[in-house]
Structure 1
Amino acid sequence: MILAGDIGGTQTRLGLFTRELGRNRAVVQAAWRNSEHPDFETILEEFLARTGRIVRGACLGVAGPVVYGQCRLTNLPWVIAEKKIAERFSIPSVRLINDLEATARAVPLLSTENLKTLNPGRPVPEGNKAVIAPGTGLGEAFLTWDGDRYRAHATEGGHADFAPGSALEWELLVELKEKCGHVSPESVCSGKGIARIYRFLRAKESGEEPPELSKELIRAGDPAPVIIAAAKGGAPASNLCRKTAELFLSMLGAEAGNLALKVNAAGGVYLAGGIVLAVLPLLERGGFMEAFRRKGRLSDFMSRIPVFLILEPNPALIGAAACGFDTCGVQQTPSIQDRS
């Protein structure tokens, strides 16, 4: 029995996987809001007590850099360590990996039904692949072919410097720099980024917020879902929210293009996470891909890169399970991996 985990800034998802069912289907899984728990160990203790299963290995995808088997989560005051988890819960083998590395590990295991094509492009067989996922923060990872299979690599690219691509984005950068100091792609291409963009545009276009929307935003602990729903025309619909979503997707497209260039992702770029699934109707309107392709002399090259949206709701859990089986040496049934 393998324990897999996806520990983000907002939620923790845990699942148990067996050799018989494989990496793409959990025997049991559950999710928790992190704000309701003091630490990860409390969640894990509850999960293991509830399931009553013996775990022989674990792989946990965590939202932050992993150094010497330990991670201090970037957007949550938790520290998680392999040794501590192994000793406290008597798990023989425990491994921490970055959550986007976990998502990247899932990419070769996904079927075509788990993907939506945003740009068919012309994929290079065995070419590098990139993964980008806006959530509480902004995760980035990539995959390389080693002659036998794809290998996933974590990055902290979401914390590099944000590069504005328009006069409006320059204004946003100036405002955020005054408030936050360092402005990264995560500052704008994330759930928190959506809220920042909305406040920026609301101040710039004063008086456009409908009263009912104001009430919804006050009631919501996280304003991003409210803004996204209003942007798609839900009640209360808002032109200001639509502009917010369009600016967010343009900046996300530009950053996805930056990542593709840096890792030469001729094999494809994959978008993941609940935010991009929520904005799918707006994502298909073209602003994202327009910004993705807009790379000067390499615009034609960018047009040839395939871009996919991952429809599978828990790719990091699948990737962590795959890592867990590899770490524990458990043989698995063949994956859906191909070289395309």
Structure 2
Amino acid sequence: MILAGDIGGTKTIIGLFEETPTCLQAIREETFPSQSYGSLEAILDQFKGSGSRPPLHAACFGVAGPIIEGKSKATNLPWELDERALAAALHVSRVKLLNDLEAAAYGMLQLDPTDLRVMQPGLPRKGNIAVIAAGTGLGEAILYWDGAQHHPIATEGGHADFAPRNDLEIGLLRYLQKEFGHVSYERVLSGPGLFNIYRFLRDSGIAPEPEWLRLRIAEGDPGTLVSEIGLAEEHPLCTQALDLFASIYGAEAGNLALKAFAVGGVYVGGGIAPKILPKLQDGTFTSAFADKGRFAELLRSIEVEVALNLRAPLIGAAQYGLMLLGGRS
């Protein structure tokens, strides 16, 4: 049995997998609100206590944060994780922590074509692949092509400097600098980031915020509400915030594609993309993606796909667990 986890700032998904002759089969999965627990070990204790306890042979967890020498301090959680401590808690010798986007990259390679939606058709080429995923934070990874297979590489590119492209985005940068000092792409391309864009447009006087909108945002998740109202075009503040979000998302995906020389394609993962798919498909994203001057033609030749299956990081962690046992990858 393989225990796998997708650990994020909002939720943690734990799954138990069994290898079959044709695939890894999910035996049981459970989702936990991350902020309600003081540690991953506390979640694992509850998961183990809520069902049967078959013997474990390996465990792998994708974590939203950097992994250094088997240890991680989660970016959006007050948790510290250690492979050795987890191995002792689980009574299993093979335990691995992966960056969550590295786990997602492993998972992307396992998705069925029906789990993907093409936003920009590209040339059918073998080569490096870029993975970008906005959710509670912004993750980026690279699938390096060695001529025979892909190898996921973790990055912390989501925390690189936000690079505005026009006067409006320069205004956004200055607005956020007053609050945060350093402004990373994650401050813009995430659930909280979408609300940051909304606040900038609101406070810049782009359009007035009516009382009904203020109350709805105050009573729910701000980023989710801005995206929902923006998609429905119920108010110009939300519509313009979503437009700007999609454009910056496309631009940063293009930046990553250039840095990784991702001629093999780009996967857009994370929890936000499937929810705003109509906006991502209206050309705003792909126009910004390819707007790279002398390299625009190259960017237009790269296939860009949205991963609709939100289980990709969990699937990827399970696949790496299988590799720890010497199984197929």
Partner Cα separation in structure 2 for residue 70 and residue 123 of structure 1: 38
Question: How far, CA to CA, are the matches of 2:274 and 2:30 in structure 1?
Answer: 20
Q: Deviations over 1:76-129 (max 9, x none)?
A: 11101100011122122100010000000112211211110001111322x000
Whether 2:61 is the aligned partner of 1:60: answer: yes
Task: Letter of the 1:223 partner, please give it.
Answer: P
Corresponding position of 2:70: 69
What fraction of aligned residue pairs are identical, expressed as a percent?
A: 44
Q: 1:210 deviation in Å?
A: 2.8
* Residue of structure 1 aligned with 2:291, choices 272, 291, 294: 294
Compute the displacement of 1:22 (Å).
6.1
> What does residue 157 of structure 1 align with?
157
Give the match's secondary structure for 1:51: coil
* Structure 2 residue aligned with 1:202: 202
Distance 2:231 2:270 in 1: 18
Aligned to 1:338: none
Offset from partner CA, 1:269-328 (integer Å, 9 cap, x none): 000011111111111111111100000000000000100000112100010000000012
Question: What residue in structure 2 maps to residue 85 of structure 1?
Answer: 86
Cα pair 1:5 1:59 within 8 Å, conserved? yes
TM-score where L is the length of structure 1: 0.93
**Residue type of the partner of 1:118?**
M
Deviation at 1:211, TM superposition (A): 2.2
Distance 1:286 1:60 in 2: 35
Correspondence for 1:223: 222
Counterpart for residue 254 of structure 1: 251
Structure 2 Cα separation of the partners of residues 21 and 322 of structure 1: 14
| Equivalent-residue separation in structure 1 for 2:262 and 2:274 (angstroms) | 22
Q: CA distance change for structure 1 residues 206 and 115 in 2, over 3 Å: closer, same or farther?
A: closer
Cα distance change on mapping 1:312 and 1:23 into 2, 3 Å: farther
Question: Cα deviations across residues 24-66 of structure 1 (Å, max 9, x unaligned)?
Answer: 6411101111111121111011001212222111000000000
Query: SS in structure 2 opposite 1:251?
Result: helix
Extract unaligned runs of 5+ from structure 1: 336-340
1:73 maps to amino acid: A
TM-score by length of 2: 0.96
Aligned residue for 1:37? 37
Q: Does the Cα contact within 8 Å between 1:133 and 1:272 map onto a contact in 2?
A: yes
Alignment correspondent of 1:192: 192
C-alpha distance in 1 between matches for 2:67 and 2:259? 22
Q: Which amino acid aligns with 1:212?
A: W
Change (3 A) 1:193 1:292: same
Mapping of residues 121-136 of structure 1, within 5 Å: 121-125=122-126, 127-136=127-136
Aligned with 1:240 (options 231, 237, 262)? 237
**CA deviation map 1:183-215 (0-9, x unaligned):** 111110111111100100011126622322211
Inter-partner Cα distance in structure 1 for 2:48 and 2:312: 22
Query: Within 2, Cα distance between the matches of 1:176 and 1:134?
Result: 18
Q: Is the 8 A contact 2:161 2:183 kept in 1?
A: yes
Q: Counterpart amino acid of 2:203?
A: A
Aligned equivalents of 1:49, 1:293: Cα separation in 2: 50
The answer on whether the counterparts of 2:19 and 2:25 sit within 8 Å (CA) in structure 1 is no
RMSD: 1.4
